[in-house]
Amino acid sequence: MKNTSKILILSGLLAMAGAQFACEREAVVYGTFTGCDTASVTYTSSISPIIDQSCISCHAAAEPSSGISLSNYAQVKTYVDNGKLLGAVLHQSGYQPMPQTGTLTNCEIKKIRNWVNLGAPQ
């Protein structure tokens, strides 16, 4: 009886240790998800990096594609105000879908949409 109790306790401890190791291993393999912060979006902190990564290669000031330059806040704000920025990144009908290479990530789209809804703060 004593041996059975010891074996059960030892088995339980080993199972708990194994479960803990598996959880730690999963965190290492998959990384930690940081989420998508859309609460405090500004042009400088959130939107400019997206535009630099996904838009500026075609829409730079020198010879912008379709005459649309997105090189600075004032230029981007023009397309926010007329609805073309959001229409393009959401791939809405009546707008040229952008970027042409595909879609932005869901997080990037959420940031842009919230930024526009907040009045496009600089």
pLDDT band at residue 3 under the 50/70/90 scheme = confident
pLDDT digit string (tens) for 23-82?
554 444 555 556 899 989 999 999 999 999 999 999 997 899 999 999 999 999 999 999
**Co-location of 54 and 94 in the same domain:** yes
Determine, yes or no, domain membership for 38. Answer: no
**Co-location of 89 and 54 in the same domain:** yes
Determine, yes or no, domain membership for 107. Answer: yes
Range of the domain at 48: 43-117
**Co-location of 17 and 57 in the same domain:** no
Determine, yes or no, domain membership for 102. Answer: yes
CA distances from 20 to 14, 28, 57, 59, 116 (A): 10, 13, 47, 50, 44
**Co-location of 26 and 47 in the same domain:** no
Q: Which structure tokens are listed for 62? A: 């020198």
Determine the pLDDT at residue 33. 58
Q: Which structure tokens are listed for 83? A: 């609805």
b/e code 78-98 from CB counts within 10 Å (16+ = b): ebbeeebbbbbbeeeeeeeeb
Count of structural domains, the chain: 2
Determine, yes or no, domain membership for 122. Answer: no
- Taking the C-alpha atoms of residue 73 and residue 77, their distance in angstroms, rounded to an integer, is 6
pLDDT digit string (tens) for 97-120?
999 988 999 999 999 999 999 999
**Co-location of 28 and 49 in the same domain:** no
Determine the pLDDT at residue 113. 97
pLDDT digit string (tens) for 36-49?
999 899 999 999 99
Determine the pLDDT at residue 27. 47
Q: Which structure tokens are listed for 86? A: 């959001």
Determine, yes or no, domain membership for 23. Answer: yes
